Structure 1
Amino acid sequence: MGLLDKNRDGVLGLFRVVVGLLFACHGAAALFDVFGGPHGASPRLWEWPGWWAALIQLAGGILVLVGYGTRASAVICSGSMAYAYFGTHQAHALLPIENGGEAAAMFCWAFLLIAALGPGRWALEKALARSDDTRTKAPLARH
C-alpha cells in the first residue's frame, strides 16, 4: 500500500478544502468585488444566471470547504459549472482550451469527484456526527 493510499482520506479532505476555498473565492470576487474582482462584469442583484452562479460559488464553496452537506453541495456546484461550460463557453469553440472554459470544466469534474467520494477527513459533518454519537451513547445520569 502506497503513501497516498494509506492517507487517502486525508488527501481527499485536503482536496475538498482547496477546491471549496478556490470556488468560494470566485463567488466572493463576483458578488463583493474582492480578490481582484469578477472575471467580467459584476452581476446585478437577482440577475440570472450571473448573480445566482456567484451565490452558488460562494455558498457552495464554503459548504464544501468546511465539509457540511458536502455531497449535495458538490453536486450543485458541479452542475452549475456544467451549465456555465455548456451554456457559455461551448458556444465559442469545442475544446476548453479554445473557449476559455478550463476553470469551469475542472471545477465541474472536481466537484463531481468530491460528490462521489465524500468529504474525506476533517469534515464538519463528520465531527457533528461523532458528537451526536457520543451524546447518544453516554450513560444516563440518575437523579
Structure 2
Amino acid sequence: MTGRLNSAQPYAIGLFRIVIGLLFTCHGAQSLLGVLGGMDGKGATVETGAWPNWYAAVIELVGGALVLLGLGTRFAAFIASGAMAYAYFKVHQPQGLWPIENQGEGAAMYCWSMFLLVFTGSGALGVDRLFSRRTSSATAGERSSEPVAA
C-alpha cells in the first residue's frame, strides 16, 4: 500500500498545486479585475497602485496562474507565500492572536500551502516538469553523440 501511495505522490502534489493555484488566481482576479463578484459582490476592484492591496492582487493573479500551470512554481510560490505572510501579520494578526479570531485563516492557509510548494515543486502535470524532461533528454542526446576518447 505504501509503495502505491509513494508512486502516486507526484500526481497528488500536482493536483494540490493546481487547486491551490486556481483558488489563488481567482482571489487575485476578483480583487484586480472585478470578476466573480469583485471585492464587494458588485464588481468593485482595488484602486490601481494602492499599497498593499493592488500589489497583493497582482501577486495573487500572476503568482496563482504560474502555480496553476506549474511554471516557475518554486519561485512563484515563494513570492506568494511571503505576500500571504505579510497579509496575515500586517492585516489580520493585529485584530487577534488566532486566525479564527482575526479572519486570517485564508491568508495563513495560502501562506503555508505556497510554502509547501516551494519545497515540493510542481509535482506531476506541470510545465516545469515538461521543460526539465526536454532539457534532460536534450542533454542526454548531446552526451551520446560525443566521441568516445580512446
Tell me whether the two structures share a fold, i.e. TM-score over 0.5.
yes
SS in 2 for 1:23: helix
Displacement of 1:73 in angstroms is 0.6
Give me the whole-angstrom Cα distance separating, in 2, the residues matched to 1:54 and 1:48: 10
Give me the whole-angstrom Cα distance separating, in 2, the residues matched to 1:2 and 1:95: 38
Give me the whole-angstrom Cα distance separating, in 1, the residues matched to 2:9 and 2:137: 26
Equivalenced residues, count: 140
**1:43 aligned onto 2:43:** no
**1:96 aligned onto 2:99:** yes
Give me the whole-angstrom Cα distance separating, in 2, the residues matched to 1:92 and 1:3: 45
Q: Which has the larger radius of gyration?
A: 2
- Taking only the aligned residue pairs, the percentage that are identical comes to 47
Task: Give CA deviations for 1:3-32 in whole Å, capped at 9, x if unaligned.
Answer: 433311100000000000000000000011
**1:30 aligned onto 2:31:** yes
From the two aligned structures, give the one with the greater helix fraction.
Answer: 2
What's the Cα RMSD here?
1.8
Give me the whole-angstrom Cα distance separating, in 1, the residues matched to 2:100 and 2:4: 33
Give me the whole-angstrom Cα distance separating, in 1, the residues matched to 2:54 and 2:87: 13
Give the TM-score, by structure 2 length. Answer: 0.86
Unaligned runs of 5+ in 1: none
Give me the whole-angstrom Cα distance separating, in 2, the residues matched to 1:93 and 1:133: 50
Amino acid across the alignment from 1:11: A
**1:64 aligned onto 2:67:** yes
**1:14 aligned onto 2:15:** yes
Give the TM-score, by structure 1 length. Answer: 0.90
**1:79 aligned onto 2:59:** no
Displacement of 1:91 in angstroms is 0.8
Amino acid across the alignment from 2:70: G
Displacement of 1:128 in angstroms is 1.6
Give me the whole-angstrom Cα distance separating, in 1, the residues matched to 2:4 and 2:37: 37
- Conservation of the 8 A alpha-carbon contact between 2:123 and 2:129: no
- Conservation of the 8 A alpha-carbon contact between 1:26 and 1:38: no
